[in-house]
A = this chain, B = another copy of it.
Amino acid sequence: MPEMRRDPITKNWVIIATERARRPESELIDGDALAEGIAHDPACFFCTGNEYTTPPEVMAYRREESMSDKPGWSLRVVPNKYAALNMEGSFKLDNSNNNNLKVSGYAAGLAEVIIETDHHSKNIALFNNKETFAVLKSYRDRYLVLSQEDAIEYITIFRNNGKEAGATLIHPHSQILAIPIVPINVKNEIGGAKEHYDKTLNCIYCDIIENELREKRRIVCETDNFLAFAPYWSKTPFETWVAPKFHSARYETLSNLHLEELAIVWKAVLYKIYAGLDNPPYNYYIHTAPVHESPDKYYHWHMEFIPKLTMAAGFELATGMYINITIPEDCADFLRDIPVK
């Protein structure tokens, strides 16, 4: 039974999910998916022809005449076979004993995998326009479906690229974890944003973006409506954020037209990181507003790209602070100068 437990001191939650330990390790990869990689691997669970090896798909972009869980798809979303959460139980605090020292709950939620392409090993940084649009659209489409679940308080969409960043399968994929609480990092952002709003009546993200556009010191790339920049307070080398220039708390409200434009900036960031830093391991994720809260006036969705070039070690674990060995302005200069192909 997947379980959530709460640190009684900091109130942070942990998911205890032994099911995850059973993930296949046979396909562990070395972090270097190549542009010239193979298009099809008969042993890959995510490749065309092996649809039966995954749980039944919950969504797919596929040729009109094609059938569910059969070939003919270009993007496919399936439940995670090794899910850290499930909807068999419901999340209720169990703090019956010990004066709140042992608070737990059923880890109710959903875990899905977005198989981003039928190509076994194409690097996402080399996706064409149609493919990049499809990935960003699938994020929105799953948000809209999953947010209908009453039990879901937050939907996390993230991507691990390369073994050192936690990827266990080479076939390009993103992941979704829909969970029954609002996670601490998002809570903290919302808290800080609210404080700023209460003082200024401005969205702090809008203020930051306006300042970046004025200073022009940390911009990586931009379109009319979207900006990629290195945060002034970057935790890691080449950390890059992508956000809409217009105020919007929710990724899931993006129109197809905006998704197409976002895809240009998103692809540019991925390509610059890929080409400029030699296809490093990285993670990215979307921060959007919680499903059932309304911080819409002062929260602002964004994506955070975190290349993994250095390692968080004892100091970071002990303090929650990061030591960044690069200057964010230098990182932005470097990435800005990489041409996108």
Contacts and interface: CB of A to CB of B under 8 A. Distances in A.
A285 B166 contact: no
Given A9-B188, A17-B323, A185-B319, 15 more contacts: A7-B192, A10-B188, A12-B321, A14-B235, A14-B324, A15-B321, A20-B325, A158-B313, A158-B315, A165-B314, A166-B311, A166-B313, A167-B313, A284-B314, A304-B317
B324 A317 contact: no
Contacts of A304: 317-318
A159 B314 CA distance: 6
A165 B316 CA distance: 11
A304 to B, nearest CB: 8
A325 to B, nearest CB: 4
A186 B10 CA distance: 9
B232 A102 contact: yes
A206 to B, nearest CB: 11
Q: Which residue, A12, A193, A233, has most C-beta atoms of chain B within 10 A?
A: A233
A189 interface: yes
A248 interface: no
Nearest to A85: B323
21 contacts: A8-B196, A9-B193, A9-B196, A9-B205, A14-B235, A16-B324, A20-B323, A20-B325, A21-B325, A98-B211, A99-B200, A99-B207, A158-B315, A159-B314, A166-B314, A183-B319, A184-B321, A185-B320, A283-B317, A285-B314, A285-B317
A177 interface: yes
Interface residues of A, number: 78
A35 interface: no
Contacts of A235: 14
Q: Which residue, A14, A188, A193, A306, has most C-beta atoms of chain B within 10 A?
A: A14
B207 A18 contact: no
Interface string A139-154: 0000000000000001
A313 B17 CA distance: 15
A12 B320 contact: yes
Given A192-B8, A313-B283, A13 B321 contact: yes
Nearest to A300: B9
Q: Which residue, A98, A185, A207, A315, has most C-beta atoms of chain B within 10 A?
A: A315
